[in-house]
Amino acid sequence: MSSLNFPDYSFKIKEVNGQKFIFDRLRRKYVALQPEEFVRQHMIEFLVEELHYPATLIGNEISLVYNGMPKRCDSVVYGKHGKPLMIIEYKAPTVEITQKTFDQIAVYNIKLKVKHLVVSNGIRHFYCRINIDDNSFQFLEKIPFYEELEK
């Protein structure tokens, strides 16, 4: 896998019949090691280890229904009372982050109404804070620490 714009982390990786798998600490199981999954696992480690996000309050592959269609958020961070606070969308390092990526995460946010959106391909990370009242947003220079999310 390619080098990402994250600190170095150690992961449990195994190979079965020529296919590599990485251990997902949130789902507590090995999942196929695809480039997007490699980005996800790095982001989760970054949130937990560097920004003090409780691993128990982050979910991967969160299903929702929008306009009768099933959708799936890559990751959702929850508050201590179970309210969604942040949606994270991952792309493979070779995938450019475009307006289409932001449109995708915005659709999820119509349903979840979180104040924080993150989009990352492992090389470039974009963070924004949403004002739900007037549908405005502000790009931030960095992801906030967990304790700052509910403010």
The one-letter code for the residue type at 141 is E
pLDDT at 132 over 90: no
What pTM value is reported for the model?
0.93
For the stretch 69-79, pLDDT in tens is 899 999 999 99
For the stretch 17-54, pLDDT in tens is 999 999 999 999 999 999 999 999 999 999 999 999 99
Domain 52-148, CATH class in plain words: alpha beta
Distance, in Å, from the CA atom of 123 to the CA atom of 11, rounded to the nearest integer, reads 19
Q: Length of the chain in residues, anyone?
A: 151
Boundaries of every domain in the chain: 52-148
CA 44 to chain centre: 7
Task: Identify whether the C-beta of residue 132 lies closer than 8 Å to the C-beta of residue 102.
Answer: no
pLDDT confidence of residue 136 = 85
In the block, which residue shows the tokens 């990370």? 125
pLDDT at 121 over 90: yes
